[in-house]
Amino acid sequence: MPEMDLAALHADPRLTWVEDVLRYADLDINRHVNNSVFSVLCESGRVNLFRTRFGEDETGDGYFVVAKLVIEFKAELHYPGRVRTGTWVRHVGRSSIGLAQVLEGDGGLLAATSEAVCVFMSRATRRPAPLSDTRRRIATELLRPDLPA
C-alpha cells in the first residue's frame, strides 16, 4: 500500500471513521497494546462500514465474511488512548469487496494500515454469492483506488 497521508484521508468523504477506546486489558507485557487488538479494531471498522454505509443487518439476504486480512504495524499504541479507524473500498469484485484501513492513534499517529478481502455470503446457502446491484453501487461510490506512490 502506498504511504498514507492521514490529513487527506480525513478529508475524503469516501472513508468511514469509527472511534474506539483502548482498554487496560488490551495491554500486554511489552506495555503496549497487544497486536491481536489491532485485529479487533480493524473488525470494528469493517462492521461499522457494512452497518452504516451498506445497511447490512441480520434481516438481510446475506453477510460479509473476511477471507483475508493483512495488517502492517507502524507504531505502538498506548493506554489510555483512543483509536480512529478509517475504512474505504479499494476494489469491487463479483462476490467480494477489497477494503483498506488506517488505524490512527492519539496525536495523529499512524499505528497501522490494513487490507481485507470481504466475501459476500448468501444467508440461505452459506456460500459466496454475487454482490447485489445495490451493494455494488454503494461499493463503487465508496471506491478509492490506490494512487501511485
Q: How far is the CB of 125 from a copy of itself (least distance, A)?
A: 15
Give the torsion through C-alpha atoms of 96, 57, 89, 110, to 10 deg.
-120
Q: Does 73 bind a copy of itself (CB under 8 A)?
A: yes
Which C-beta is closer to a copy of itself: that of 8 or that of 40? 40
Evaluate whether 100 touches 113 at the Cβ level (below 8 Å). yes
Q: Rounded to the nearest whole angstrom, what is the least distance from the CB of residue 19 to a copy of itself in the complex?
A: 7
67 binds a copy of itself (CB under 8 A): yes
Stretch that binds a copy of itself, among 9-17, 72-80, 92-100, 137-145 (CB under 8 A): 72-80
CA distance to 5, 26, 34, 124, per residue, from 72 (Å): 15, 18, 14, 35
Among 93, 92, 114, 91, residue whose Cα is nearest residue 102 = 114
Query: What is the contact surface with a copy of itself in residues (CB under 8 A)?
Result: 19-21, 23-25, 27-31, 34-41, 43-44, 47-48, 51, 63, 65-73, 80
